[in-house]
Each structure stands twice: as C-alpha cells, then as structure tokens.
Amino acid sequence: MVSERQVLPLLVNWWTAKSESVAKLAAQGKAGTGAQARDAKHMQSLAAFVRQMFVDAGLGEDEVTTDTVIPGYFRRSKNWDVVARHKGHLVGVVELKSQEKSPSNNANNRIEEAIGSAFDARTVQDISEAFGKLGVWAAWCMTFNRDCEPTRRNGVTSKHFPLDPAFVPFTYAGQYGTAIERFIAQNVYQAGWMVRTWVNDDSTVGYDEPIPTATAETLTTQIEMRVKFALQALRNE
C-alpha cells in the first residue's frame, strides 16, 4: 500500500524545485519566458518514484530508465519519463506532467499531446512491432497546483452543439481529472495518477488524489499486474 509518508516528500520536493527554478530564472532575467517548463528537476523525484514501482514489481534495475527516447511514427521519437523493458520487449511507458500556474494557456494542449503520444506509440507497434511481443502499456500522470485556477471562470459556450455536462461547472483540475478518468476507461492509457497539491498558510504542503481510478495505489497495483504478466509471458525467451 502506498502511504502519505511516501507521497508527501515527493510533493515537497516538487514545490521546492519549482521555487528554486523560478528564483534561478529570475536571477538570469528569464522569468516568465517558459524556460521553467524545460527545467525538469521538479519532476525527478516523481519519476524516480514511479520507476521504483516497476523495480519493486520484479524488473531489474537496468530494465527501467527515466527520460528515455523510444521511436515514433508520426514524429521521429518521443522522450517518455519512465520506460520499462524486459528481455528486449517494452513493458510500459509513463508520462509525468505538472501544472503549477497558468492552466488556461496550455491545459488543452497537454491533454491533446497525451492523446497523441499514446496513439503514436500504438501506431509504431501496430505497423512494425518495434516494441516486441507485449504491445504498448502506458500511464499518464498529472501533478496540479490546486491554487492556480483562474479567479475568473471559463465561460466557453458552443453555438451548435451542447458541451459535455461532465465539464460543468468547469475547473482545470476537474478537466484533467475527467481526462485521466476517461483515458483509463477508454483504454487510451492503461493507468494514471492525478495529484492535486497546494501550500498551506504555515508553508506545509498538502495534497489529495481526486480520481479513485488514478491514485498512487492504483498505479502501483496496475504496474505490478503488468510486470507479473510480462515476466510470465517472456519466461521462455
């Protein structure tokens, strides 16, 4: 069972790395330029945590890597945050994203990218079987700053077709949560993790996991099942 004692330090590291990145960029005169999004240090603890899930489930240390390139079909390649292999076959890939501010600028793009990344990997496998015998198993994870929601609500309406009532009332955290829930339900991704986090008035970090099908515990369970399947399927290789 994954406990709060395991997850909370990851989020403390996430907030600390974010703050350090902002201060560093500000000192360099680059604040607000988008450079922070390219500084992945804030995600390293989370990536290591998910990587360890695969190792604890039975894969070798050298079979699970972070920030690893695999081939694409509609694009040359894709860097996945965690890539797990066994005997030359792909066991799983995991994408870790975060939203610390300004979700109105790119939340839709991140969901579109998530769909595209899953589709691209499956197309590679369908056409070339480049990833071996097991097919593509993928997970998508989002760490979201609860307090970055715009104070002014998004009042988008559709003239011609009604919007999905699942997005009413609208929040960006809710949209991410619904997306992950539907990724799993529609088998776009086989697993996910949604974390909503914040900093309290006393500077302590809080978090919750609003999607029951996408928690650290469900992700661990699904990784364990996938690794068990892979070890059984490839035992004679």
Residue 99 identity (one-letter amino acid): Q
Q: What is the pTM of this model?
A: 0.92
Highest mean pLDDT: which range of 88-97, 100-109, 161-170 = 88-97
Counting the structural domains of the chain, the total is 1
What is the per-residue pLDDT for 26? 44
pLDDT tens per residue across span 119-176: 999 999 999 999 999 999 999 999 999 999 987 766 778 889 999 999 988 999 999 9
Q: Which domain holds residue 42?
A: 4-150+158-233
pLDDT tens per residue across span 54-65: 999 999 999 999
Q: Rounded to an integer, what distance in angstroms lies between the CA atom of residue 106 and that of residue 94?
A: 20
Are 193 and 215 in contact by the 8 Å Cβ rule? The answer is yes
Q: Which residues contact 173 (CB under 8 A, 6 or more apart)?
A: 144, 146, 149, 196, 210
Block residue for tokens 């309290």: 200
Rg of the chain (C-alpha set) = 19
Q: What percent of the chain has pLDDT over 90?
A: 81
Block residue for tokens 């922070």: 36
CB atoms within 10 A of CB 59: 22
